[in-house]
Structure 1
């Protein structure tokens, strides 16, 4: 089961969408609410939200998506239980909430709208709400015996084993040629029909790499654990004569641009360099 979540400002329009009869919507959850229409529910939300006018994104929107196979067998009562357990995992069981199931497509899914403002007038902390929603949904799936995201991902990776192996073999051959820059590595991978896609966030920080090959697009760690961004850059920086943690670069040249190295990636690069130094020392007998 997949869980998604974010804060929104368009309470009325969102609840109206959730209650869309064209999508065969059916109410599966109603907490601390009495209204029977989207307009009535919205007004009840607004009464509580008026206690905290500083909060503009004052409604929380969640989507819970069981797998197609699980969704076929879930009744309204089952979906109510899933929704309540999810809200409890998110520590929102005491806030106003309304939930709808949509069965207009093959993939059954539940829309939950929760008042971000509690009865005490305080706004719920929505930091990392997307990630927390994923974790909460996974915990509920585990508790109720539903298919978890990681199980689906593992099945997909098993199906892609030939492509993963091919990418890893090409990666190993390219590293054997000792590329001294990311651009050189990317270009050599391209010569073997593997497109390396840098993942750069809005802060211009390099987060990692994805690998595209024969229609497949996988992140480095899904190809092989040695192909995370930090480990890959560690290999290349070794070819550039970096050997100590203090020499880990905080920025890199990449496709004619300078990108920053995130703190997590810098730590990963440093660990990779340390392992390489230890290995070289063991191989030569220096210091041991």
Structure 2
């Protein structure tokens, strides 16, 4: 379960969003409130907020999101209990609050709006409220037996690890066919359902590549360093000329058009060429006296 939070000044607009019937909104929590409309709730907030007019961002906005699977099975009553426990973890038991569940998307989530001014007139400190919201949601998830953020993150990391390995394997197979142009490489990767997307800026400069596969979109370098543009371009240039690239090309052809290399990419390729030259000298002994 994930929790997010921040202080806001637009109380009525935010509560109106939470109450939006187009999002199948349903009130699951009311603390120290009697109103039945966004206007009435806002007026009740303002009565308490008038005790401390110096506080501008005087409403706290939270979003608590169980995982998709957990959200499917939670009733309005259980979501209300979840919201109440979240407020307790945030030490907001002495504050007006209202919570709405939204089910307009696959991911059920709860919007909670709490008065930053307590019933006794004290201003709630919002230091690191985002981080504290994350921790509070994690504690509630643990207490209620729901999926915790760290469990979701671990699952995603494992899934990502497998996808990265699949992409790298396909990349290696394609390189074994010695493609002689970036377009040929891109075409052959696509034949294996891996979309290689050149990143070209407004100045028509190639900055690198992204890779899309099985719903995952990553920088090529995040898949494996060998797939980064500064390594891929020299490799393909070598396939075309059968000699090692000796200087940074002024431009390359990709998507059937000539593009320049960005300064950053050109610098990285230059470093790769120097590193490659040093490796050849070390491996062959060329230029070394004995």
- Are positions 1:151 and 2:148 aligned together? no
Q: Structure 2: state its 5+ residue gaps.
A: 169-195, 199-208, 224-263, 265-290
Distance in 1 between residues matched to 2:94 and 2:23, nearest whole Å: 28
Distance in 2 between residues matched to 1:36 and 1:13, nearest whole Å: 15
- Are positions 1:57 and 2:57 aligned together? yes
2:69 corresponds in structure 1 to: 69
- Are positions 1:91 and 2:91 aligned together? yes
Deviations 1:43-86 (A, max 9, x none): 00000000101100000000011111111110011001100100
Distance in 2 between residues matched to 1:134 and 1:97, nearest whole Å: 19
Question: Residue 39 of structure 2: SS of its match in structure 1?
Answer: helix
Distance in 2 between residues matched to 1:165 and 1:68, nearest whole Å: 27
TM-score (norm. length: structure 1)? 0.59
1:178 corresponds in structure 2 to: none
1:116 corresponds in structure 2 to: 116
Question: Residue 62 of structure 2: SS of its match in structure 1?
Answer: strand
TM-score (norm. length: structure 2)? 0.59
1:129 corresponds in structure 2 to: 129
Question: Residue 29 of structure 2: SS of its match in structure 1?
Answer: strand
The alpha carbon displacement at 1:217 in A equals 4.0
Distance in 1 between residues matched to 2:98 and 2:110, nearest whole Å: 10
Write the mapping of 1:157-196 to structure 2, written as runs, cut at 5 A: 157-162=157-162
2:282 corresponds in structure 1 to: none
Distance in 1 between residues matched to 2:138 and 2:211, nearest whole Å: 31
Distance in 1 between residues matched to 2:5 and 2:16, nearest whole Å: 18
1:82 corresponds in structure 2 to: 82
The alpha carbon displacement at 1:18 in A equals 0.6
The alpha carbon displacement at 1:167 in A equals 11
Q: Quickly say closer, same or farther: Cα 1:144–1:167, change in 2 above 3 A.
A: same
Deviations 1:175-227 (A, max 9, x none): xxxxxxxxxxxxxxxxxx9x9xxxxxxxxxxxxxxxx8634448x9x99xxxx
Query: Who wins on radius of gyration, i.e. which is larger?
Result: 2
Distance in 2 between residues matched to 1:119 and 1:138, nearest whole Å: 27
Q: Quickly say closer, same or farther: Cα 1:50–1:78, change in 2 above 3 A.
A: same
Distance in 2 between residues matched to 1:25 and 1:11, nearest whole Å: 17
Distance in 2 between residues matched to 1:45 and 1:77, nearest whole Å: 24
Kept in 2: contact 1:3–1:133 (CA 8 A): yes
Distance in 2 between residues matched to 1:32 and 1:162, nearest whole Å: 50
2:211 corresponds in structure 1 to: 214
1:250 corresponds in structure 2 to: none
Q: Quickly say closer, same or farther: Cα 1:167–1:24, change in 2 above 3 A.
A: closer
Question: Residue 74 of structure 2: SS of its match in structure 1?
Answer: coil
Question: Residue 122 of structure 2: SS of its match in structure 1?
Answer: coil
2:25 corresponds in structure 1 to: 25
1:10 corresponds in structure 2 to: 10
Kept in 2: contact 1:163–1:213 (CA 8 A): no
Write the mapping of 1:202-281 to structure 2, written as runs, cut at 5 A: 214-215=211-212, 216-217=217-218
The alpha carbon displacement at 1:149 in A equals 1.2
Question: Residue 125 of structure 1: SS of its match in structure 2?
Answer: coil
Distance in 1 between residues matched to 2:51 and 2:152, nearest whole Å: 43
